[in-house]
Structure 1
Amino acid sequence: MSSTKTNKLKILNDPVHGLISIPNSLIFDIIEHPFFQRLRRVTQMGMSNLVYPGANHTRYHHAIGCMHLMQKTIRGLQSKNVLISEDELNAVCIAILLHDIGHGAFSHALEHSIVNGISHEEISLKFMRALNKEFNGELDLAIEIFEGNYKRKFLCQLISSQLDIDRLDYLQRDSFYTGVTEGNISAERIITMMNVVDDELVLEQKSIYSVEKFVIARRLMYWQVYLHKTGVVAENILVNILKRAKELASQKKDVFGSRALRYFLYNEISPSNFSKTTLNNFAKLDDYDVLSAIKEWTHHEDFILSSLAKMIIDRKLLKIEIQEKPFTEVYINKLKTKYKKELGLTDTELEYFVFGDRISNQAYNTDKPIIIFTKKGKLIDLAKASDQLNVQVLTKKVSKYYICYPK
């Protein structure tokens, strides 16, 4: 069918925001691009569906939701006489649409195992630059905003700050799909209360309770969902599976995988050699490659790889203990000695089964404050504007320590 006949102003039905319209043909073409379509096969929440069975939504859902909220936000600011051109509106919508395009399979696991030293933000930028070439420079402004280099600071803040569009969508979406109502914020209300003063993104005073609820919701979602102990242990096992597979591949052993996955297992990928070929292979890699490989690896002759793979497939995970204070050396060594003997492993091999670290959560960071615009025209930090102590309390970084070992 010739492209002239395609209706590019489509409407999508989103369970969280309702009807979402695709604003123009450029954005439609970006969404239709294979790079973006890959996000349908990358879950938004990694292994969280082992805890919350409903958490199967994808990065694609989230990106489209962000674009929708961004459109609403800009239209709202324009109605308050903030001058924003159609080019800027388009660019900021593209920037938020593509902000997560560099996420690997299962969201964060690849970053810590088979693609080293390069973050998903950097990969997102590589995708944006590649798309920009294809679209003859039409993404120039979007990239400038995404990188935080655009002269109008508030547009960059809408992409990345403590109260950005990304967070407004994922808190509401993840709360909806997990069924954890504590995370349910009113993104609509917060967006309606946004304004721009001296090129800074601010929130009008009457939004203060909604913003407080947003900060608290974020804290609760972190402890209850994103850092849930079962999710933490599953994510760690997944990282260890990929690390082990890469280790075996580096020893020239045969490790099953799709073409894209084998590329990353059998090649050392770093920022210096992340080429166009690497990007194209990355664009073909998603949750399906990783999961089908893990299913196959349950039969691998390597004891470590097959044991870890079975844990994920059968959901028979390692035991995890979490506490406020670090675990003592004595306790850690006792566990290591016990399982080293039981499993007959070397010290380095044992690290796949007995390991620990810490998890941290800071709901509100005063270094990059959310600014409240008072009725008297003053600009103050949310932590000072709030008449409740809770926001002040939430500025403290809370850490917990965990250790994982076989049951």
Structure 2
Amino acid sequence: MGYGTEKLMEEKVFKDPVHRYVHVRDRVIWDLVGTKEFQRLRRIKQLGTTYLTFHGAEHSRFSHSLGVYEIIRRIIDDVFKGRPEWNEEERLVSLCAGLLHDLGHGPFSHSFEKVFDLDHEEFTQKIILGDTEVNAVLMKVGADFPKKVAEVIAKTYSNKQVVSLISSQIDADRMDYLQRDAYYTGVSYGHFDMERILRVMRPREDQVVIKQSGMHAVEDYIMSRYQMYWQVYFHPVSRSAEVILTKILHRAKHLHEKYYSFKQHPIHFYSLFEDETTLEDYLKLDESIILYYFQMWQEEEDSILSDLCRRFMNRNLFQYVEFDPAKEYKKMAELSLLFKKAGIDPDYYLVVDSSSDLPYDFYRPGEEEERLPIQLLMKNNEIRELSRESAIVDAISGKRRTDHKLYFPADFLSDYTSKKNVKKQIQALLDR
């Protein structure tokens, strides 16, 4: 018996609020969970700054990754097993890719990536292929096994069936985070009938399809996703916190470039500031490190950095108004000028933030972020794209919704009493 097929003497389980239990019998999976790179995910929140809006949203990438693994395990072991269209030899690479798919996320994830021009999927692959404990475990399966797992993450793996389990418009990743995020935020939007969807999934060449009888469960899933994005993920208060977080990092980088003398030197950020981030540097970063600096930077002499850090740590967030960049670009220029007159730096205190989502799309070859559609397996064995059969999905297919907000510190406007005339002009523009 090789390491890749070795089973634990006794099944291990993780108690989970979403799936009740996460079952582990494979030695490889158990060993991967125990690596320091995977344990680091306990210190990365799944929803970034959302805990400042929904106080229960403290769950981690660690619990989400276990959830994705469990969904894939159930699909493979309970639904696909024994079906001629499924190659059982792909089981372990699918499980490992599901477990490790978020391994490269940094602190506060997407906000962090934008500031420092990073890609968590690239770092996931570097961790899998680099000098890490994760790589050492995967190498015990076979010399080419880490490469296979990394290819699934990169969506370049030869078996597209496996890729679609982890990355498609109805995959294990989305099915877990919708339910998990709904549970921890306390909302009802993200709930759908996953049990039904799992029962009607079928392996086909190059992807996973859904039996026609499960179409309504998939419609419910897509609408749940749509509601979660607009009610939770794009919540304007969470976005306000992200704006401040982003501006703190931008300010710290700017001060470093100007040779500012920090009271608390940002040693963990130096490689990021210099665009020379190594894998070793990256793995030292988690949210406890970031919050430590924010806590200490409240005492910095730079008034912008200290103010922004106080705002983030004490949840004194920016206010917002609706904003249409196409129609109101002149207003933005006027506001910037008035902010400067009031002694408020518009680069840090006047911010337009945009959120955009495409709830479902059919296949658009050659376009950026190509999306494989959800395919239905009809009773006559024909394959039909979902929106051709569902009027609900057809109504939203290919329709991108975008929302723009203008963020600013309302308390600053009331504090600048010596600039009353300017303050009135700013308020008039904001109210217009």
The aligned counterpart of 1:71 is 73
Preserved CA contact (<8 Å) 1:182 1:220: yes
**For 1:343-387, what per-residue CA distance to the aligned partner results, in whole angstroms no more than 9, with x for missing partners?**
x25xxx42111021422111001122110111111111111111x
Preserved CA contact (<8 Å) 1:42 1:59: yes
Change (3 A) 1:13 1:364: same
* Structure 1: distance between partners of 2:348 and 2:331: 18
The aligned counterpart of 1:351 is 347
Partner letter of residue 232 of structure 2? V
Preserved CA contact (<8 Å) 1:324 1:399: no
* Structure 2: distance between partners of 1:394 and 1:52: 30
Residue from 122, 142, 147 that aligns with 2:149: 142
Deviates more, 1:330-339 or 1:238-247: 330-339
Residue from 62, 66, 90 that aligns with 2:64: 62
Larger Rg: 2
Tell whether 2:357 aligns with 1:361: yes
Offset at residue 74 of structure 1 (A): 1.0
Preserved CA contact (<8 Å) 2:252 2:305: yes
* Structure 2: distance between partners of 1:377 and 1:81: 15
Offset at residue 260 of structure 1 (A): 6.2
* Structure 1: distance between partners of 2:170 and 2:262: 43
* Structure 1: distance between partners of 2:263 and 2:99: 34
Residue from 21, 24, 35 that aligns with 1:22: 24
* Structure 1: distance between partners of 2:392 and 2:16: 36
Preserved CA contact (<8 Å) 2:121 2:154: no
Preserved CA contact (<8 Å) 2:318 2:407: yes
* Structure 1: distance between partners of 2:30 and 2:259: 44
Structure 2, unmatched stretches of 5+, are 1-7, 364-371, 411-432
Residue from 255, 258, 270 that aligns with 1:251: 258
* Structure 1: distance between partners of 2:362 and 2:282: 36
Change (3 A) 1:256 1:228: farther
**For 1:131-190, what per-residue CA distance to the aligned partner results, in whole angstroms no more than 9, with x for missing partners?**
464233342322232222333211111121111110010001001111110111222221
Change (3 A) 1:255 1:70: farther
* Structure 1: distance between partners of 2:289 and 2:121: 22
The aligned counterpart of 1:91 is 93
Residue from 348, 372, 379 that aligns with 1:375: 379
SS at match of 2:94: helix
Preserved CA contact (<8 Å) 1:260 1:285: no
Preserved CA contact (<8 Å) 1:9 1:25: no
Q: How does 1:137-286 map to 2 (within 5 A)?
A: 137=143, 138-255=145-262, 261-264=268-271, 267-269=273-275, 273-274=276-277, 278-286=278-286
**For 1:213-241, what per-residue CA distance to the aligned partner results, in whole angstroms no more than 9, with x for missing partners?**
11111111111011110111111110110
* Structure 2: distance between partners of 1:207 and 1:29: 36
The aligned counterpart of 2:42 is 40
Partner letter of residue 366 of structure 1? F
Partner letter of residue 241 of structure 2? A
Partner letter of residue 238 of structure 2? G
Deviates more, 1:44-53 or 1:251-260: 251-260
Offset at residue 9 of structure 1 (A): 4.3
Preserved CA contact (<8 Å) 2:355 2:403: yes
Offset at residue 296 of structure 1 (A): 1.2
* Structure 2: distance between partners of 1:319 and 1:331: 17
The aligned counterpart of 1:3 is none
Identity within the alignment, %: 32
> So what's the TM-score if we normalise by structure 1?
0.89
Change (3 A) 1:256 1:38: farther
> So what's the TM-score if we normalise by structure 2?
0.84
Q: How does 1:287-298 map to 2 (within 5 A)?
A: 287-298=287-298
